[in-house]
Amino acid sequence: MKEILIWSPKGGDGKTTICYSMIQFLGTTCDAVDLDPQHSLSTALNVAGIQMSQPNAKYRIYDTAPFNDASLDQIIPNVDHILLPAKLGYPDLVSFRTAYERLLKANVAHKALLVFNDVRKPLTQEAKEVLRLFRKNYPKIKVADTFISRLEAFRRVFRFPLEGKAAMQISSLLAEIGINDRFK
């Protein structure tokens, strides 16, 4: 099984949204582990009638809490990919430092991917500057080619499979980590 951890040290970056969208996209090939005591992902899946555990899952997605949870030390070395959602703003640029240092210390920078979420195009001058500073300050973390935009489709939480622009972006992001499956 391929395991994907979605993590960021800051709240409200889109961890749960991205987890949920990936599950909407991958369907029963994917199961979920909710490590956040807020349980937003479990609640959303429960309301939508989606099982957290899937008997034939090929992928497992972990949603996490918005802080440097010590329990991640056991998980970080064992997952295949670590996706790090961030917004293209100064608060995220600053708070990413703790994640960066932790990933380097755990020797897992090579499996991490920084994913910019809620990106509005065209990029403002400030967003361009923040992007430049992310690359400059955190050179050991790869930046995903796929930017996740502000998506109306994310509001349609009961809809399976994921559709439209959201599906295209999630598909493209998953392809970057070698996953080419679709909803079954």
Ligand X SMILES: Nc1ncnc2c1ncn2[C@@H]1O[C@H](COP(=O)(O)OP(=O)(O)OP(=O)(O)O)[C@@H](O)[C@H]1O
Does 156 participate in binding ligand X (rule CB under 6 A)? no
Q: Are strands 112-116 and 142-143 parallel, antiparallel or unpaired?
A: parallel
Smallest separation (angstroms) from ligand X to the CB of 25: 14
Q: Contacts with Mg ion: how many residues (CB under 5 A)?
A: 3
118: partner contacted, choices Mg ion, ligand X, none (Cβ within 5-8 A by kind):
ligand X
Distance CA 95, CA 93 (A): 6
**Window contacting Mg ion (CB under 5 A); options: 32-40, 130-138, 142-150, 171-179:** 32-40
Q: Per residue in 33-57, is it b (16+ CB within 10 Å) or e — as a string?
A: bbbbeeeebbebbeeeebeeebeeb
Q: Pick between residue 38 and residue 124 the one whose CB is nearest to Mg ion.
A: 38
Nearer to ligand X, 47 or 107 (CB): 47
Residue 16 is a binding residue for Mg ion (CB under 5 A)? yes
Q: Closest distance between Mg ion and the C-beta of residue 184, in Å?
A: 26
Near Mg ion by CB under 5 A: residue from 5, 7, 15, 24 = 15
Min CB(114)–ligand X separation in Å: 14
What phi and psi values does residue 77 have, to the nearest 5 degrees?
Answer: -70, -20
60 near Mg ion, rule: CB under 5 A:
no
**What contacts 17, CB < 8 A, 6 or more positions away?**
117, 154
Residues that bind Mg ion (CB under 5 A): 15-16, 40
Residues that bind ligand X (CB under 6 A): 11-17, 36, 38, 40, 66, 117-118, 148, 150-151, 154
